[in-house]
Amino acid sequence: MKHLHHLTRAVCLAGALVGGTGLAVAGSACNRVPVSPHSSEAIGRDMIVNGVPTSLVGMQFAGTTNDVSNAFREFWTREDVPAKGRADSSGMLLSALDGGCLYVLSIPRQQNAAYTRGLMSVIQLGTGEADHRIPASSIPLPEDSKVLSDVESRDPGQTGRTWLLDMPGEPRWNAQRYRNSLAARGWVSVGHQPDYQSTGSTIQGAAFAMQHGSDNLDVSFSGRGDATVATIHATRSR
């Protein structure tokens, strides 16, 4: 969830920077490394985040947050590319728009001064709409739900797409209604966890798994009273 939180913040900033420009899948054309990492880990080389095609790499840098921020800005100054930055209580966002490539480095607040952890997201600008491998039309979402985030990640043998939703109504009732709706469309139950209520609190929830052809769903609903947050995770093998 931490990766998703900071990635969502990065994409929100990206949207503000590119305005109404269309987007294409991030690819090898956007291969600049403004700050050389001490180590790196590919989190999502081929993703679509809230409709924005994106690549995401976790990085660890030698030096403080300020060292990384200064190096990021100095690299783009040498390249005659404007760089922007924003800091708040949760960390720092650095961005640069280099022709058709948008680079966004998200640095969460951290204590260790010797090394700095960050998430680098790279977006290649284009003219087409995002081409989901799991189209929304193939995964019916719960009625009356509002999409908070939508992330698709492509791996060599499998694609996953996760929606985070909120909706009115009691969580267990919403879960039962959604399960019945899927079953009416031909989905088959492959797992069901007992409904729960957290000890000492009013948080309650439900979770289940269903399958339809090559598509699998893992679903969870939770919340208090008449407010529900749902996570719908779909996977498709190929």
Q: What is the pLDDT of residues 1-27, one digit of tens each?
A: 445 455 555 555 444 444 433 333 445
Would 130 be classed as within a structural domain?
A: no
Span 204-228, pLDDT tens digits? 889 999 999 999 999 999 987 788 9
Between CA 79 and CA 76 the distance in angstroms is: 5
Give the model's pLDDT for residue 138: 94
74 and 10 share one domain = yes
110 and 11 share one domain = yes
149 and 230 share one domain = yes
Between CA 216 and CA 234 the distance in angstroms is: 6
Tell whether the model's pLDDT for residue 146 goes beyond 80.
Answer: yes
160 vs 124 pLDDT, higher one:
160
Would 217 be classed as within a structural domain?
A: yes
9 vs 191 pLDDT, higher one:
191
Between CA 59 and CA 175 the distance in angstroms is: 38
Among the three residues 76, 91, 125, which one is the final residue of a domain in this structure?
125
80: CATH: 3.30.310
Mean pLDDT, residues 42-54: 84
Span 66-85, pLDDT tens digits? 999 999 999 999 999 989 99
Span 155-175, pLDDT tens digits? 888 999 999 999 999 999 999
Write out the residue range of the structural domain in which residue 87 sits. 2-125
Please state the domain count of the chain: 2
Give the model's pLDDT for residue 77: 95
Give the model's pLDDT for residue 10: 52
Give the model's pLDDT for residue 9: 52
192 vs 67 pLDDT, higher one:
67
Would 209 be classed as within a structural domain?
A: yes
From residue 8, alpha-carbon distances to 93, 154, 162, 164, 214 in Å are 11, 18, 13, 12, 28
Report which residue type is found at 28.
S
Would 141 be classed as within a structural domain?
A: yes
178 and 117 share one domain = no
Long-range contacts of the stretch 212-218 (C-beta < 8 A, 24+): 212/182, 212/185, 212/186, 212/187, 212/188, 214/238, 215/134, 215/138, 215/139, 216/190, 217/139, 217/182, 217/187
Among the three residues 125, 157, 192, which one is the final residue of a domain in this structure?
125
